[in-house]
Amino acid sequence: MFNKLNLVWLVAGRELRDQFRDWRVLTPMVILVLCFPVLMNEFAKQTVDFLNQYNANLILDRLVPFSIMIIGFFPITISLVVALESFVGEKERGTIEPLLSAPLDDWQLYFGKLLVGVATPLTASYLSIAFYLVMISRQELTIPPFSVMVQLILLTTAHATLMVSAAIVISVQSTTVKAANLLASFVVIPVAILMQGEAVMLFWGNEQVLWLAVAGVMIIALLLIRVGIAHFQREYLLGREIDAINLHWIWRTFWSNFLDSAGSIGNWYRNVLGTAFRRILPAVFFVVLIAGVSTWLGYDWVIKNVSETIALASPEDLKRVEERVRELPDLANLREHFSAPFLFLNNTRAMVAILAAGLVSFSVLGVLFYMMNIGLLGGVFAILELLGVSPWPIFLAGVLPHGILEIPALMIGSAAVLYLGVAIVTPQVGKSMGEVILELLADWTKIFVGLVVPMLALAALIEAYITPGLLLNVLK
Amino acid sequence: MIETHDLSKQFHDFIAVDGVNLSVQPGQILALLGQNGAGKTTTVRMLTALLHPSRGWARVAGYDVVKNGHAVRASVGVLTEQHGLYMRMNAIEYLDFFGQVYSLSAAARKSRSNDLLEYFGLTDASRRRIGEYSKGMRQKLALARAMIHEPGVLLLDEPTSAMDPESARLVRDEIARLKSSKRTIVICSHNLTEVEALADRIAIIYRGRILLQGTLEELKHKVLGVPEYEIKFAEDWDARGLELPSGVEMLSQTATSLKVRVDAPHASNPQILKALSSTSASVMAFQEETRTLEQVYLKVMAEAKGRENVQ
């Protein structure tokens, strides 16, 4: 194992030496490490003077951690360029083939590049932060507490890992450096949005949420590393030469996977859809399990957080709420606003949103959306209990009739998204990343068109025409 | 050694290599000839375990290229189409890096690097950045990289391109030395004179398929027919009375020369000379009509394109 790791160091060492001999990499890095903290320090001094006039101590407290986060982030953006060209740059220069022809394993090459990609910007970021801390320690500004500092360092590390691992995935999958640089916006834009969110959390001062952000960014970064290794294939690094979008090939690959040589609709349902469903079966079991957990979490959260509010409410208020609940809804009006097509489209949109969220996050966000949807059921259950209304009759009349189709449809659709995320991070020999994604999308579409859509359509009809009547009887 | 059976590679709809069967023994040099895009590089990449065959199999140095890709890569030295040199390194650092990749000890790396740099005349430039090297120097260094671990199998793409005649000679000598030390060598080249001088076997590849394969003599025989010989006389001589052995056809004659086609030169040529010596003919020269690999190659290519046009 030590010998194998040695080769990782070897690849990383060569890359590092190359970087340190390139003034185009070194110059901006040195400028950012030395000059940017000075600028930020000056900015902080001016801001402190300004805010002191208004006694805005809270903002002052948050200013230094915010500056540290920004100072740590900037060197990472420069090294993103280096990470982006790690593989595709070598391909363009023709140096990749001797390296790929050598007895190096895929993971050794990948981690060698990743190590340098992460280590260089992080070193620059840490140095920059240290320099800034030295400067502020000589002034009146207070250094953030240890826990915040740990959080900021981890956040910087998570940002670097996320950006570099994403850049390396792009580098492996791109055919030219130009294409890789253009694709970099897929890294920069989400991270910029993420940074804004984190800045808000920093000023808000909610450490717990920031810890969650650190964990979330780290999980996505690790999944990206996994995706990179799973789809790192020497063949595709050398094989592809052009960047043109081949719509014909995209459609043909998708369609042939969707139809999968089925002669008739019956045959497609029996064989093609059946096979696709069997593939996602483990994911279905998993989402059923998640459903139980989410319902409990929703129920528990409401019981813990809402009961206090209800306890503080006056008996008159409670009475009014209960009366509102028991108010007979205007059935005709309800049908007009919640017609079957409306309900169907709404649920279908939710399923597509789960897919979209799952696609960009290797199913993590998709599953979170699903958990929120299911968790709501537990929450409503708990609220009714807290209001002293028995939830079971309402649940049996208002949820079960259409829910018996809608909830399994939601589960099956979410399981397809979960399967998609897991399959993307799983190595698939002999297939390009594009082929894998198209095949998985075809699988998702099979499940969606063949199972989820019919179930949601039936559920919408029941919800529009049967559920209100039943609910009306129960509420009476 | 290298063995392939029905080796094929398809990229989407494009068939790059189609059913290639090769066998190269240790101590043999096989030359792969073909136009640009004929499938030579793809074949070499499959032999280096860089590309997975779509069909068929290949064994290199006793290892299957799919199942034992790592072992194949460790046993093979590759000179790629592009030199693939790191321009900010110097030659010593470069060879040392690849020596480490091939798990050579520090002492072995040093001695191998020094030997190769010395052999290729790069010792004086060994501390200079590779970016400052001429094309020929880069080619020599790339070749040195391919040989650093003394591989049993060498796959060389255009080994002497961009080299001056002196350096090209040096490389050819080294290839010949490697051949004599029982290395298995595959050369892809457009330099047909070089191939004639080096290769034991030649395979002509066109649109992914091997059109013809064999020794130079076999190819000449297959493509250009039986060899023709010209006999030159010092003085005028009437050859009409000459009795030629069976399998020898007289093609033309002048007062001072004679042209014959010989089915089996090994058997017939001594008989022709014997017949001539019993006459008054003063034989000045007995030589085979020049038939080059270039003629073979161009004819094969023309025929292949012709067949394609008919289809």
Distance CA A176, CA A153 (A): 34
Q: Is residue B296 part of a domain?
A: no
Bridge partner list, B23: B3
B199 and B275, same structural domain? no
B247 and B145, same structural domain? no
Residue B57 and residue B43 in contact, taking contact as beta carbons nearer than 8 Å: no
pLDDT (tens digit per residue) in A58-104: 666 778 888 888 888 888 887 788 888 888 888 888 888 999 999 99
Distance CA B20, CA B44 (A): 11
Q: Is residue B308 part of a domain?
A: no
Which residues, other chains included, contact B282 with Cβ-Cβ below 8 Å and sequence gap of 6+? B233, B234, B235, B237
pLDDT (tens digit per residue) in A289-330: 999 999 999 999 888 888 777 777 777 877 777 676 666 555
Contacts of A7 in chain B (CB under 8 A): 100-101
B234 and B121, same structural domain? no
| Greater pLDDT, A305 or A411 | A411
Residue A370: burial class (beta carbons within 10 Å; 0-12, 13-18, 19+): buried
Mean model confidence pLDDT for chain B:
90
End position of a domain, from candidates B187, B205, B221: B221
B278 and B134, same structural domain? no
Q: Is the per-residue pLDDT at B187 higher than 90?
A: yes
Q: Is residue B311 part of a domain?
A: no
* Mean of pLDDT values over B279-283: 83
Distance CA B311, CA B140 (A): 44
Bridge partner list, B7: B20
Distance CA B175, CA B179 (A): 6
Q: Is residue B297 part of a domain?
A: no
pLDDT (tens digit per residue) in A12-23: 999 888 888 888
* Mean of pLDDT values over A150-158: 90
B172 and B67, same structural domain? yes
Mean model confidence pLDDT for chain A:
84
End position of a domain, from candidates B195, B221, B247: B221
pTM for the structure as a whole: 0.77
Residue B138: how many other CB atoms lie within 10 Å: 19
pLDDT at A245: 67
**Inter-chain CB proximity B98 and A18 less than 8 Å:** no
Q: Is the per-residue pLDDT at B125 higher than 90?
A: yes
Q: Which of B54, B90, B100 to mutate to test the interface with A (most CBs of A within 10 A)?
A: B100
B156 and B284, same structural domain? no
pLDDT (tens digit per residue) in B235-251: 888 877 788 888 888 88
B183 and B138, same structural domain? yes
Q: What DSSP designation does B31 have?
A: E
pLDDT at A476: 66
Q: Is the per-residue pLDDT at B3 higher than 60?
A: yes
% of residues, chain B, pLDDT over 90? 55
B33 and B153, same structural domain? yes
B276 and B160, same structural domain? no
**Inter-chain CB proximity B101 and A100 less than 8 Å:** no
Q: A122-131, A232-241, A306-315, A330-339: which range is least confident on average?
A: A330-339
Which residues, other chains included, contact A195 with Cβ-Cβ below 8 Å and sequence gap of 6+? A69, A73, A159
Range of the domain at B250: 228-288
Q: Provide the residue ranges of all domains of chain A, joining segments of one domain with +.
A: 2-239, 247-475
Of B50, B88, B103, the CB nearest to A22: B88
3-state secondary structure B277-297: HCCCCCEEEEEECCCCHHHHH
Q: Is the per-residue pLDDT at A243 higher than 70?
A: no
Q: Is residue B67 part of a domain?
A: yes
Residue with tokens 């792969």: B32
Q: Residues of chain B whose C-beta is under 8 A from some C-beta in A?
A: 11-12, 45, 48, 50-52, 70-71, 73-74, 76, 78, 80-86, 88-89, 93, 97-98, 100-103, 142, 145
Of B76, B82, B102, the CB nearest to A94: B82
A14 near B CB under 8 A: yes
B64 pLDDT tier (thresholds 50, 70, 90): very high
B227 pLDDT tier (thresholds 50, 70, 90): confident
Query: How large is the ipTM?
Result: 0.84
B240 and B197, same structural domain? no
Task: Count how many domains chain B has.
Answer: 2
- By C-alpha distance, the chain A residue nearest B156 is A98
B119 and B158, same structural domain? yes
Q: Residue B158 region, left (φ>0) first, then alpha (ψ -120 to 50), else beta? A: left
B239 and B217, same structural domain? no
Q: Is the per-residue pLDDT at B44 higher than 80?
A: yes
Q: Is residue B310 part of a domain?
A: no
* Mean of pLDDT values over B1-30: 92
Q: Is residue B155 part of a domain?
A: yes
pLDDT at A214: 85
Q: State the pairing for strand pair B201-206/B209-214.
A: antiparallel
Q: Is residue B86 part of a domain?
A: yes
Tokens in use for B270? 């001594």
CATH of the domain at B121: 3.40.50.300
A105 near B CB under 8 A: yes
End position of a domain, from candidates B202, B221, B240: B221
